[in-house]
Amino acid sequence: MRGRPKAQIKTGTTTVTAFGAKALSARATRKGKPQPPAAALASAAKAVHGAVARPLPNFVEPCLATLVAAPPEGADWVHEIKFDGYRIEARIDRGGVTLLTRGGLDWTERFGALPALLAARHSGSALIDGEIVVEDKEGRSSFSALTDALKSGQAQKFVLQCFDLLYLDGYDLTGAALLDRKELLQKLIGPKSARGQIRFSEHFSGNGAKMLAGACGAGLGYRLEARRPTLSLGAPRRLAQIEMRAGR
């Protein structure tokens, strides 16, 4: 549901998200390293350019996208898979975890073991932006499968795909560069996040138009999103993202 109402969601589709890479940190996300202790994560958050010391907020309104007619030109972007599920903000506060919808509703009790799994990942405080999905037999997120799992109580099927980190251990990261936030997020989630119910959503580089053409050729309906490298709270943040959709 990231960036569009439920009525616009197409079951079983794949979405690619593109983020403006100009002025982004040149540091790439590093794989395969052990998950650092909480103290190390706090120090890393403090060192990030644009991080601001603040108390943990109750909720941060998610950044949504504005529809445009064409993908951004050039190769100066980073991209992500956009999942077909429920946009969720995971609020971790020293052992307590709350799962909030994009409207700020508390849905913690609906998603089985996910809160306990998140609490086990980090003993400090964090706000993680992500999407809860259920995968179909082909490994693609399916909104109908998600709603079926919710109705039937099959909580073991839920997967939280984590794609952004808004706050970590005393520091507001919404003014930091996207790649810096994602690097911290990957450290928090851990190196073995490709499987299991808590996963880190990888990003990759490439030309948006070529990606759009390739996905359409493969029969995938999706949208591209482009986001400015640093996001601030409030209205400017909501205007910092664009999207393009292509149907099946």
Domain harbouring 242, CATH code: 3.30.470.30
Burial of 206 (0-12, 13-18, 19+ CB in 10 A): middle
SS3 78: strand
Domain that holds residue 130: 6-246
- Our count of domains for the chain comes to 1
DSSP assignment letter at 141: B
Whether residue 214 lies inside any domain: the answer is yes
Whether residue 112 lies inside any domain: the answer is yes
What is the set of active-site residues? 82
Q: How would you classify residue 94: left for phi > 0, otherwise alpha for psi between -120 and 50, otherwise beta?
A: left
Whether residue 195 lies inside any domain: the answer is yes
Q: Across the chain, where does the E strand assignment appear?
A: 15-20, 52-53, 66-67, 77-82, 86-93, 96-101, 125-133, 159-168, 171-172, 198-200, 203-205, 222-227, 241-246
Whether residue 104 lies inside any domain: the answer is yes
Whether residue 1 lies inside any domain: the answer is no
> What amino acid is encoded at 172 in this protein?
D
Token pair for 89: 């903000």
For the chain, 248 residues long, give each residue's pLDDT as a single digit of tens.
Answer: 443 333 232 323 334 444 443 333 333 333 444 556 778 999 999 999 999 999 999 999 988 766 667 676 665 667 777 788 999 999 999 989 999 999 999 999 999 999 999 999 999 999 999 999 999 888 888 999 999 999 999 999 999 999 899 999 999 999 888 889 999 999 999 866 667 999 998 877 777 777 767 656 554 444 445 454 444 333 344 334 555 555 54
Token pair for 5: 């109402």
CA angle 177, 92, 186 (to 5 degrees): 40
